Chains A and B, each alone.
Chain A
């Protein structure tokens, strides 16, 4: 046995057990000035699947990290099986029977499954006996819950779905009765997600309690018994899943009627400006992620690429923008083939008239240690000044204009970019890329981590670019964003375009099926 589970094992048989596996009372948590969790109350019934939904930054992960002992609450109480506990660290949480499967797996990639499972739960100084016991235990867990993984497989050689199973096994091996899963399907293929849900149902049947954190309403509707909605650090409401609807949940999540429809007129597509043909792109590990993609974008239209994150969107954007070398295929801009090999390909792409708002502004789009004006010319530095000298006066002048036009706050050219809010950082990037009159604009996740007010502004700017006759390629994992901005939608799945849709007529279910590779062959979603 695991020997790590005193609370549960020592419970006298037949003793009165609280019907609540977990109860959170008045939890508060601050990170500096950010009030990440406000007075949270939550009750989770034993033997249920309980969903927690909310937008990015709503405080779901923080709350679960507190339950798992990774952070400490500023105030409030955690009750496990009706008894209050001060959970000091993850080890304590595990001892109380709480296990967690993190969004980013906490696995040692070059260890075997067995080594990962026992890590931190070894019950002897020598590993031999621990491994023997763990092997037997894994066999049983595999039989009970359909959690088959080769114990001697090295984690980095496993598929993402298998790695996730290792995480679940880790928790169960430690005797978890309550299992927290943080955005578990974000990285899974549809088949893997189905497999996961089957496992979760089996676990529930065996009496385990499951907390599922997600922002995908489809999953909530499919598997949960109860669902709690969080918004801006607060718990809004807990509902019976069977009594609610995705529309109601979405409204609770956002706090107002979801009206992401952007005011825009009809598109007037002109000539083809961006043309991609049979593009193949591999990731850093030489694994092909874009597998022969062809499409074109015309002047005056927005083409949206919809898809679940990790289906090749990042590699597609990086390849077209010159950041990543392509394996084969051609990219044409206004009829001319772009040659983007080498690690300075992005300079040639810009030279040809292509602007790029990257998916991750902090990692790619900004040098956060730079002053605002320096970031406002990043990528265009060679345009400022003759010879090798940098025309600082000119650069500052155009930065000041952008600050005014895009209402970037605070309006301070010399402030370090790290000290701007997410929305204002995004505006710095947008201003830089849009104000240089590119022919083609490619945009990745334009509103990720941006507050509502800025979202509207950013959407309107993109529409304005379109109406100015530019070709725009938009990639977003937010289906609503794709639907409200795009004039045409292409669905990317597993590195291939699996369908095209008209945003005005396509229905969400059909798109969802395509995005998850579940749609049987059909190329056209429009009736």
Chain B
């Protein structure tokens, strides 16, 4: 096989596999920057994927599916907000509960409604977000170097993919260049400073949770109505946790988050590509080793062996006006 075509393929695959990670990771970034730990990303991703596939299958509209995915994530965010902002409960426990809730509900409702072992009906191409061919992709295909990169790597992704990549600079701008971003970062560091400035901590944190839900909702929809043609049980497959690891790895900054997610996506693509290939000296690389790599890298980071990951200072703590 042509090596450069192979590389383009792996990179295109990397992009596809990173999209849900990027969206979930940025989603987590908003919430954690506002001081709310979101262990429940995984559950939101799963719930959104289910809602999107269900509504797309029933209505035939991918756009309604997308909206349903967002709505599902919003519902979960709402419960998380209620538990961790209003009732000042433990955010970690709430997140864990939401993960189980998503795992249980999606399978239970899926089976009850569709009776296909938790799968939703197969979606037709017109019920999904399909790859878009960018202008001139066909014409430029044969131009050396840029041709294959443009038509093979940059063109040919779904709308959600382009959205995911667009949202990275937008997030960077919002966080560091706008009033909302300044307040968001402040509430995650020292909510008292926000409260004494006369700004509602509760409202700000809910706003963050809404953005989180929208992004992770789109990420979930991508899984079931863009990358795949329907929902299958546990289809998030730990991506929410990988995204959480990426948030930490990126030290809560959007641009590094993009690169970490691309790296994790690349590992995933390589794992598929390397299956069954024997190398000289080391032999075959076990799939499991590549699968575990993102987790192991994150643990090494958390242990402080490669830099230190310091979370926003108020993260995980409910805010109470003290007497």
* A interface residues with partner B (beta carbon < 8 Å): 31, 68-70, 89-94, 100, 102, 106-111, 115-116, 118-122, 124-128, 130
A111 to B33, CA, bound (A): 13
Given A94, A106, A107, A125, which contacts B178 in the complex, CB threshold below 8 Å? Answer: A125
Stretch in contact with the other chain, from B107-115, B146-154, B188-196, B280-288: B188-196
Identify 20 new A-B residue pairs, CB closer than 8 A, beyond the known A70-B321, A107-B190.
A31-B323, A70-B195, A89-B198, A90-B195, A91-B199, A106-B196, A107-B193, A108-B193, A109-B189, A109-B313, A111-B185, A111-B186, A119-B197, A120-B198, A120-B199, A122-B179, A126-B177, A127-B178, A127-B182, A130-B179
Interface residues on B, range: 20 to 34
A122 to B183, CA, bound (A): 10
A102 to B323, CA, bound (A): 14
By beta carbon, the residue of chain A nearest B310 is A110
A234 to B177, CA, bound (A): 48
Smallest CB–CB gap between A281 and chain B, Å?
24
By beta carbon, the residue of chain B nearest A95 is B198
Smallest CB–CB gap between B64 and chain A, Å?
31
Q: Which of B180, B186, B193, B323 has the most CB of A within 10 A?
A: B193
| Contact present for A127 and B179 (CB under 8 Å) | yes
| Contact present for B179 and A90 (CB under 8 Å) | no
Which residues of A sit under 8 angstroms from B185, Cβ to Cβ? 108, 111
* Majority secondary structure, A binding face: loop
Given contacts A126-B177, A126-B178, A127-B177, contact A120 B190 (CB under 8 A): no
Which residues of B sit under 8 angstroms from A100, Cβ to Cβ? 196
A288 to B196, CA, bound (A): 32
Which residues of A sit under 8 angstroms from B190, Cβ to Cβ? 106-109
Given contacts A89-B198, A100-B196, A108-B189, contact A120 B183 (CB under 8 A): yes
By beta carbon, the residue of chain A nearest B200 is A89
| Contact present for B178 and A92 (CB under 8 Å) | no
A92 to B196, CA, bound (A): 11
Smallest CB–CB gap between A33 and chain B, Å?
13
Given contacts A91-B198, A106-B193, contact A119 B178 (CB under 8 A): no
| Contact present for A119 and B198 (CB under 8 Å) | no
By beta carbon, the residue of chain B nearest A128 is B177
Given contacts A108-B190, A109-B313, contact A120 B197 (CB under 8 A): yes
A116 to B186, CA, bound (A): 9
Which residues of B sit under 8 angstroms from A92, Cβ to Cβ? 198
24 A-B pairs with CB atoms under 8 Å apart are A31-B323, A68-B196, A69-B198, A70-B196, A89-B198, A90-B197, A90-B198, A91-B199, A94-B198, A106-B192, A106-B196, A107-B193, A109-B189, A111-B189, A119-B182, A119-B186, A119-B194, A119-B197, A125-B180, A126-B177, A126-B178, A127-B177, A127-B179, A127-B181
By beta carbon, the residue of chain B nearest A107 is B193
| Contact present for A115 and B182 (CB under 8 Å) | yes
By beta carbon, the residue of chain A nearest B323 is A31
A209 to B182, CA, bound (A): 31
* B interface residues with partner A (beta carbon < 8 Å): 177-183, 185-186, 189-190, 192-199, 313, 321, 323
Which residues of A sit under 8 angstroms from B186, Cβ to Cβ? 108, 111, 115, 119
Which residues of A sit under 8 angstroms from B198, Cβ to Cβ? 69, 89-94, 120
By beta carbon, the residue of chain B nearest A32 is B323
| Contact present for A90 and B196 (CB under 8 Å) | yes
Smallest CB–CB gap between A77 and chain B, Å?
21
Given A91, A102, A107, A118, which contacts B182 in the complex, CB threshold below 8 Å? Answer: A118
A110 to B323, CA, bound (A): 26
Smallest CB–CB gap between B61 and chain A, Å?
34
By beta carbon, the residue of chain B nearest A123 is B179
Which residues of B sit under 8 angstroms from A125, Cβ to Cβ? 178-180
Which residues of B sit under 8 angstroms from A110, Cβ to Cβ? 189, 313
Which residues of A sit under 8 angstroms from B313, Cβ to Cβ? 109-110
A102 to B185, CA, bound (A): 21
A121 to B183, CA, bound (A): 10
Smallest CB–CB gap between A333 and chain B, Å?
36
Report, nearest first, the 9 A-B pairs whose CB atoms are least far apart: A91-B198, A120-B197, A90-B198, A122-B179, A106-B196, A106-B193, A108-B189, A108-B190, A108-B186
Smallest CB–CB gap between B313 and chain A, Å?
7
A115 to B181, CA, bound (A): 11
A175 to B190, CA, bound (A): 23
| Contact present for B196 and A102 (CB under 8 Å) | yes
Which residues of A sit under 8 angstroms from B192, Cβ to Cβ? 106
By beta carbon, the residue of chain A nearest B321 is A70
A36 to B34, CA, bound (A): 33
| Contact present for A124 and B195 (CB under 8 Å) | no
Which residues of A sit under 8 angstroms from B195, Cβ to Cβ? 70, 90
| Contact present for B196 and A116 (CB under 8 Å) | no
Which residues of A sit under 8 angstroms from B194, Cβ to Cβ? 119-120
By beta carbon, the residue of chain A nearest B177 is A127
Q: Which of B180, B192, B197 has the most CB of A within 10 A?
A: B197
A119 to B179, CA, bound (A): 8
Which residues of B sit under 8 angstroms from A128, Cβ to Cβ? 177
A119 to B190, CA, bound (A): 12
Which residues of B sit under 8 angstroms from A108, Cβ to Cβ? 185-186, 189-190, 193
Smallest CB–CB gap between B75 and chain A, Å?
29
| Contact present for B182 and A122 (CB under 8 Å) | yes
By beta carbon, the residue of chain A nearest B176 is A127
Smallest CB–CB gap between A363 and chain B, Å?
14
Which residues of B sit under 8 angstroms from A124, Cβ to Cβ? 179
Smallest CB–CB gap between A422 and chain B, Å?
14
Smallest CB–CB gap between B187 and chain A, Å?
9
By beta carbon, the residue of chain A nearest B312 is A110
By beta carbon, the residue of chain A nearest B198 is A91
Which residues of B sit under 8 angstroms from A93, Cβ to Cβ? 198
By beta carbon, the residue of chain B nearest A68 is B196
Which residues of B sit under 8 angstroms from A68, Cβ to Cβ? 196
Given A31, A70, A116, which contacts B193 in the complex, CB threshold below 8 Å? Answer: A116
A119 to B187, CA, bound (A): 10
Smallest CB–CB gap between B279 and chain A, Å?
45
A31 to B197, CA, bound (A): 23
Smallest CB–CB gap between B118 and chain A, Å?
43
Which residues of A sit under 8 angstroms from B196, Cβ to Cβ? 68, 70, 90, 100, 102, 106
A471 to B140, CA, bound (A): 89
Which residues of B sit under 8 angstroms from A109, Cβ to Cβ? 189-190, 313
Which residues of A sit under 8 angstroms from B321, Cβ to Cβ? 70
By beta carbon, the residue of chain B nearest A104 is B192
A288 to B189, CA, bound (A): 26
A116 to B183, CA, bound (A): 10
By beta carbon, the residue of chain A nearest B196 is A106
A516 to B38, CA, bound (A): 47
Which residues of A sit under 8 angstroms from B178, Cβ to Cβ? 125-127
A125 to B186, CA, bound (A): 16
Q: Which of A68, A109, A110 has the most CB of B within 10 A?
A: A110
Smallest CB–CB gap between A92 and chain B, Å?
7
A115 to B186, CA, bound (A): 9
A94 to B313, CA, bound (A): 27
| Contact present for B323 and A119 (CB under 8 Å) | no
| Contact present for B193 and A119 (CB under 8 Å) | yes
A118 to B182, CA, bound (A): 9
A347 to B207, CA, bound (A): 48
Which residues of B sit under 8 angstroms from A69, Cβ to Cβ? 198
Smallest CB–CB gap between B315 and chain A, Å?
13
Which residues of B sit under 8 angstroms from A120, Cβ to Cβ? 183, 194, 197-199
By beta carbon, the residue of chain A nearest B181 is A127
